[in-house]
Amino acid sequence: MSTAVDASVAVTEQEDVENILGGKKVAVVFVLGGPGSGKGTQCSNIVEHFGFTHLSAGELLRTEIKSGSENGAMIENIINEGRIVPSEITIKLLQEAMIKSENDKFLIDGFPRNEENRAAFENIKLSPEFVLFFDCSEEEMGRRLLGRNQGRADDNIETIRKRFGVFVESSLPVIQYYDSKGMVKKINAAKPITEVFEDVKTVFQPYGPKATQMPSRE
């Protein structure tokens, strides 16, 4: 009997590997850091210079709310309380976005946020190339969140406090886990945008310039 069980597990795992992105092979970098650490801003710079596609887990969830999906109200409640949406929802959105894209290198911004997220993503047999961690003090992140005025319902003092709490309690352990495997590239994110990007560039240099970049016409 144990043989039969082993065999079925083996088949399932093999199917997973092949079907997870419809057979598509991708390279993924996790971009992590507290709320307001500059993940989205720096991801835009990386996209421009190194040809990655930016997938913000938070943006995908906000789009899902707006699309009027059946999970929309539930996702909205969780985000407004600064808590973390169940992995299967976020992972499905990330998978769909990677399959739909013509690109094969992705920045996954703001995910995984807790151990459950991380373990669930490991189950789809996709390991990140490395983890980019934007390190910033709460004081500075709080200033940025309250100053940025992007119309986000969760950028208010009360929810920001909860998001900081969730970051320290649930997300930092994920960063520590990857750090223990030597996979974290830590960036001092408390500096101005251009200075932070200088450090980011050093990390991404081995990935070469954006392939489609045209020589400048002058």
**Site for ligand UDP, rule CB under 6 A:** 35-36, 39, 56-58, 61, 78-79, 82-85, 90, 110-111, 113, 154, 163
User: Has 186 been labeled as part of a binding site?
Assistant: no
Q: Is 82 in the site for Mg ion (CB under 5 A)?
A: no
- Residue 25 in 3-state DSSP? coil
Smaller CB distance to ligand UDP: residue 21 or 145?
145
User: Has 36 been labeled as part of a binding site?
Assistant: yes
Q: How far is the CB of 216 from ligand UDP (least distance, A)?
A: 33
Whole-angstrom distance, CA of residue 75 vs CA of residue 97: 18
Provide the edge-to-edge strand list for the sheet that holds 53-56: 53-56, 105-109, 27-33, 130-135, 184-188
Pick from ligand UDP, Mg ion, none: which does 61 bind, CB < 5 to 8 A by kind?
ligand UDP
Smaller CB distance to Mg ion: residue 105 or 152?
152
Q: Count the Cβ atoms, other than its own, within 10 Å of residue 165.
A: 11
User: Has 113 been labeled as part of a binding site?
Assistant: yes
Considering only residues 95 to 154 of the shown chain, the ones binding Mg ion according to CB under 5 A are: none
Q: How far is the CB of 215 from Mg ion (least distance, A)?
A: 33
- Residue 185 in 3-state DSSP? strand
Which residue's CB comes closest to Mg ion?
A: 40
Pick from ligand UDP, Mg ion, none: which does 85 bind, CB < 5 to 8 A by kind?
ligand UDP
Q: Helices (DSSP H) in the chain: which residue ranges?
A: 2-19, 39-50, 57-66, 72-80, 87-100, 115-123, 138-148, 157-166, 172-180, 193-204
Whether residue 112 has a cis bond before it, omega within 30° of 0: yes
Binding-site residue numbers for a ribonucleoside 5'-phosphate are 62, 83-85, 110-113, 152, 163
